[in-house]
Chains A and B, each alone.
Chain A
């Protein structure tokens, strides 16, 4: 089973765990992307995420499909925030269950790495002295 969600409220680790846990799973891998307090040598105070939701969901589905063609996976959970996320807050959760740990580790990394490349979600970083859209300019 796959779960994909994009929401403007807190992401809960337990929702991920409950979804991906399975009797035939021998390994569960969960990646949690969090908001850190430093970026570009400056003090970051929060991030704001914006998504092209329908397309983001379909692009995430494509990534999961590709992961499933590369590894034997049981359940996959992807949840991403929109709106404001403060320092230490959770921006994204990727969870994968598989019979064995290697597939879970590798697929989880594959999904987050590809999400960052192709899924139409944008973050604006707020510093104590200004703000910018991440990666917008060379």
Chain B
């Protein structure tokens, strides 16, 4: 399936875009998606950490993704 992944902050710089289309297996967890993303964008591994949000809520690694989900890469936040 194809996920539309939003990127913010430094993740946007790493992807070179605010949003990318990314192909993952049909049964795909957040953890697997992160591994696949890191293969294509090794700079992600140099971040202090990064989270994934699904439909505007922080996701856990074992959570399964659906094609219609709004997926976002959340690098370390630094508001305030």
Contacts and interface: CB of A to CB of B under 8 A. Distances in A.
Interface of A: 33, 49-52, 54-56, 58, 80, 91-92, 112, 115-124, 133-138
Q: What is the predominant secondary structure among interface residues of chain A facing chain B?
A: mixed
Interface size class of B (residues with CB under 8 A): 20 to 34
What 3 pairs across the A-B complex have the smallest Cβ distances? A121-B79, A122-B9, A134-B78
Interface of B: 6, 8-10, 12-13, 46-48, 53, 56-58, 72, 74-80
Given A115-B79, A118-B77, A122-B78, A54 B46 contact: no
The CB with the most chain B CB atoms within 10 A, among A50, A92, A133, is that of A133
B64 to A, nearest CB: 20
A106 to B, nearest CB: 17
